[in-house]
Structures are given as C-alpha cells and as structure tokens.
Amino acid sequence: RAAIDAYRTPALQQAVALAVADGTVIAMNVMDEPHVAGQGDGVGGGIGNTWGPPGTMTKLRVDSMCAYVKGVFSTTPTVVSHQWQVFEPTRAYRQCDGPVSIYSARSGELTAWRAGAQAMAARDGHLTMFGLNWINGGTQDKDATWDCRTEGGVIGENRPNCAPTPTQVASWLLALCPRSAGGCLIWTDDGTTAGRNAGALQTVRDSLARLPAVPLRRRP
C-alpha cells in the first residue's frame, strides 16, 4: 500500500486517468504469478520465490490489491499475471478485471485451454487478456538431446523448453488475440525473437487491424 500511496497525488491521478482514456495505459498489473510458492528464496542459485509458502497468496488477497489500486486510480483496469487454471480456479475475482493468461504448448490443446479461460470469465464476470510465451512456449523437446531440432530448432531458457516456430506464433496469436480484452501480450523479447517472427507478427497485425477493440473492464 505504501508503494501505491506514493503515487496518490492529484497530478499523477489526473495524468493516469488521461492515459487510460486515450489508450496509452491499458491496465495496471498488480502481481506476477501469485501461485508461485514454496520454491526457496533464490539463495545459492536456487529458484527464487517472492510470495512465501503455499497459501500466502489467495484470490481474495489479490482482489484486495486490485481494490486498493482502484481506490487511487479509479478508471484504471487491474489485471494479474497467471494462467487462468493454475491459481485457485474454483474461486473468483470480484475486483480485478481479469487475469493475463499466457499460452504455452505444454498447457494443452489451445482451443480447449482458451475455452476454459472464457468459461471462467463468464462465470466470474471478468475478462481475460490472452498472450503467448514465445521464448519457452513451444513444443517441448523431451528426448535425450535438448536441441529442439524437430521442434523448430530454437531452444528455450531451460530444458526441455523450446521456442514456438513462426508458424505456431502466427496460428496461436490469431486464435487468441481476437478473444483477448485490452490487447494481446507476448512474453518476452530477448532481442532476436521479434526479428525471427517478423512475418508472423505482420500477419497477426493485418488480421487484428480489421477488428474492433475489446475494453479490459469487468462486467458490473
């Protein structure tokens, strides 16, 4: 709260409201992967964990963060970065406008995964911003040699992950982005990935340019 309160000034509140109104600011992401827990503190090269032991973060707790942000920036949509199915899927957000749900091939067949996200959104009254992990989100290489040779030839950040091919990038984004609220997120650019997928991105841009924007705002 103290971090948000530092921005509680009339000048900043007005600036943010104007930025939301003209589309410069799409949303405030209040937290990344609240489901990540119990993986150590990162000491000695281990996998770091910001949020504490399992159960530290709940949808109710994250919802309170979204409510607090909206108390400062009343017109700003609030989102949370996590795949829809991994964080308390039987419980609902009532204040957050929705999750940012990033697809990877290991999440399962895309159409079914997307349908699950849309069903949750309909149940809970929020929207979903979809996205794609184009660093580690391709078909995994689980044979003895991690080279991603038959999966497109570009290894991910850690075994057995591979980057999706440009064909997969175009196909998946075309399936996700028209149903995405507020925009469509790509995680993340490492300096070369955008160039490798330039043709795929242009195909997606050309297709999306013909569609109306979907505001990122939960239903009342």
In whole angstroms, give the CA distance from residue 144 to residue 177.
35
Indicate if the pLDDT at residue 113 is higher than 80.
yes
Indicate if the pLDDT at residue 212 is higher than 70.
yes
Indicate if the pLDDT at residue 45 is higher than 60.
no
- Beta strands 78-81; 129-133: pairing state: unpaired
Does the pTM surpass 0.85? The reply is yes
Q: What's the average model confidence in pLDDT over 1-20?
A: 95
Q: How many CB atoms lie within 10 A of CB 5?
A: 10
